[in-house]
Amino acid sequence: MARKLPINRTRNIGIMAHIDAGKTTLTERVLFYTGKTHKMGEVHDGTAEMDWMVQEKERGITITAAATSCMWKNTVINIIDTPGHVDFTMEVERSLRVLDSAIAVFDGVAGVEPQSETVWRQADRYHVPRICFVNKLDRIGADYDMCIRMIREKLNAEPLPLQIPIGSESSFIGVVDLVIMKMLIWDDPSGKDYRIAEISDELKDIAEIAREHMIEKLADCDESIMEKFLEGVSPQEEDIKKAIRSATVNAKLYPVFCGAALKNKGIQPLLDAIVDYLPSPKDKPPVEGHDVNDHDKIIVRDVDDKEPFCALVFKIMTDPHVGKLSYMRVYSGTFKSGDQVLNVFVGKKERIGKFLRMHANHREEIDDVCTGDIIAAVGLKSVRTGDTVTSLDHPVLLEKMIFPEPVISIAIELKSKADQDKLNLALSRLVEEDPTFRSSINEDTGQLLISGMGELHLDIIVDRLLREFNIPANVGKPQVTYKETITSTATSEHVYDKQIGGKDNFGHVKIIIEPSESGKGFIFKNNLSPDAIPEVFIKSIEAGLNDSMMGGVIAGYKMEDITVTLIKAEFNELKSTELAYRIAANMALKDGVREARPFLMEPVMKLEIVSPEDYTGEIINDLNSRRGKIENIDFKGNLKVVDALIPLSEAFGYATAVRSMSQGRATHTLQYSHYDLVPESVMNRILGKMSGLV
């Protein structure tokens, strides 16, 4: 199978940032200058290639991660443009899981914003090397130095500025490149051509100091640069580039570039940096997975076409023309369309009908794929997000992706019962596409609930149901997805001894339940001696406890942060069954929770408000009335920045409230932080509403 270019000529990158920092505009410019498109799309006009969904064009935001690829300097660049809104942060998470590197885009006026921090931490978690692009330097109030300072202070990262801007705000015309020590000036409004000039006298001293700082930082990471630095010798351009690449790939330094994507300035040097400094798949460590027969055994697959085929499905999408698309990253080996693969997670063989190279929602059919490719496959019916597909003879299970639980729900009611089958099909497709979306039936009311990560997330889902799937429905008000936990310790015992269908069933379980650390979920400990009961029944007991955790005793919400220790279990050789132990464990946990002071937990949101000082007093008073906790108050120029925590239940409609309090001059960002205990008085009010007493 012929590879067109060697693997070290491939770059798999993501573009990530806070909402409105200019990710999609930057991607549109990249596609135009690399010759992938012949016209630059604009987000504000709804013509951006990468924002292809109707909802994205209307709202001017990115909702779903869109993939494309282009060529620059004989290098294939596979790009994923990710959403910036916090409700779609899972799109960023699953994209970063399969990417080799990323470009972090920052608004030159706002600097590091809350969602910038979130995506940066996500990239840290997956050890993704990054370069930074400070955008919008043509805007009033843009401050390049402030952005670099914020990267260092807020992200705890070490920025390496490789450029300094020429001019500011409306007089921004280009950059000084500190590696080649030349000025790059964009006179052409289309941005296609720029000229290289000698550094002007007024910028010479500033550029010399900035270059010296750059070499000092590189010397800390590179011995050859250190030697030259100590000898007072200026390193060659090739040596500097090699040192920058090494420091970037190892995530020791984060090169910083600048420009104005909307005004077509600064894009080509960024493309050069992708090729020069970001890693190819070959620069990343070999992928590790688990042996399917022995989960504790680790299997390593080298990044090589000669290795057995292994890929991770990171996204599912339904295409109206070709059906279900499975986006995958190929970690090793090669594969031809038409051949069979193994879905390792479910143990099913399937045939890949065809491979598609995607450009947003446009498709180009290809016959085969190689190591490092990011492509979409048609024909895989059983795969879900996070599944591993491999060659039939060499299965390996890659690490699964973990998705957060939804925090908000709304009730949805069909206008006509005739649409029920259509709705069920639509919901199953949406759940398949989006692992943070759930649908369920409320057992008490019989209502259908759909749950997601925020108001905008559910708003988009409902919009798609009404328009894309053509399902007329009435929608209720948003409801918080609470959880339940315990606040004290209890011991509980249950004996299940019954005949079912003429067969005896006996199980006896005694447990201690206690609160566990916040965010730890359910922890099971087995304190029985190895010969107390057969091992198979231990698994049944754990399964019964897991069943019980799915519905609490206060209001039936899922239980979290509970440690259960099994201290006693009796065994009857003639009567004991797996079912009996499962039921006994389930009942023991339910009984124990009632004795251990059960409590509701609510999602708490991280809130940042940026407002003129005149309005902050009223905003803080309003936050206190909403059970908000002020964490920090800071200044950003002549604006005040208020960081707070606020329960999600108190944050509904906050956008309208903060606008009216500040005459429309304050902005705010909400993002999920954690679950916390609900105060008792508030819990009683919530439970009263649920039972119809309030």
DSSP string, 411-423: EEEES-GGGHHHH
* Residue pair 147/108 in contact by the 8 Å Cβ criterion: yes
How many whole angstroms separate alpha carbon 349 and alpha carbon 368? 18
pLDDT band at 470 (very low <50, low <70, confident <90, very high): confident
3-state class (DSSP) for residue 253: coil
Residue 633 CA from chain centroid, whole number? 28
What tens digit of pLDDT does each residue of 85-126 get?
Answer: 555 666 677 778 888 999 999 999 988 887 788 788 888 888
Q: What is the pLDDT of residue 45?
A: 45
Buried b / exposed e over 406-420, threshold 16 CB at 10 Å, is: bbbbbbbeeeeeebe
| Residue 463 amino acid letter | D
3-state secondary structure of 462: helix
Helix (H, G, I), strand (E, B) or coil at 555: coil
Looking at residue 686, what is its pLDDT?
Answer: 79
SS3 label, residue 460: helix
Q: Summarize pLDDT for 335-367 with one digit per residue, the tens.
A: 888 888 899 988 889 888 888 887 655 678 888
CA dist., res. 126 & res. 363, Å (int): 29
The pLDDT score that the predictor gives to residue 2 is 47
Three-state SS for 694? Answer: coil
CA–chain centroid gap for 183, Å, is 37
Q: What is the pLDDT of residue 242?
A: 93
Mean pLDDT of 536-543: 92
Query: Mean pLDDT in the chain?
Result: 85
Q: What is the pLDDT of residue 360?
A: 55
Round the CA-based radius of gyration of the chain to a whole number and report it: 28
Inform me whether the pLDDT recorded for 559 exceeds 90: yes
- By three-state DSSP, how is residue 622 classified? helix
Contact 403, 372 (CB under 8 A): no
**Rounded Cα gap, residues 473 and 450, in angstroms:** 13
pTM here is 0.72
CA-angle at 83, arms to 255 and 267, nearest 5°: 40
Least confident of 55-59, 173-177, 206-210, 384-388: 55-59
Rounded CA separation 153/146 (Å): 10
CA atoms within 13 A on the CB side of 9: 11
Give yes or no for residue 58 having a pLDDT over 70: no
Q: What span, in angstroms and rounded, lies between the C-alpha atoms of 247 and 243?
A: 6
* HSE-up (13 A, CA, CB side) for residue 668: 28
Q: Quickly list H helices, 42-88.
A: 54-59
Helix (H/G/I), strand (E/B), else coil: 168: coil
Query: Distance between CA 165 and CA 174 in Å, rounded?
Result: 6
Q: How far is CA 212 from the centre of its chain?
A: 37
CB within 8 Å of 660: residues ≥ 6 apart: none
Amino acid at 632: N
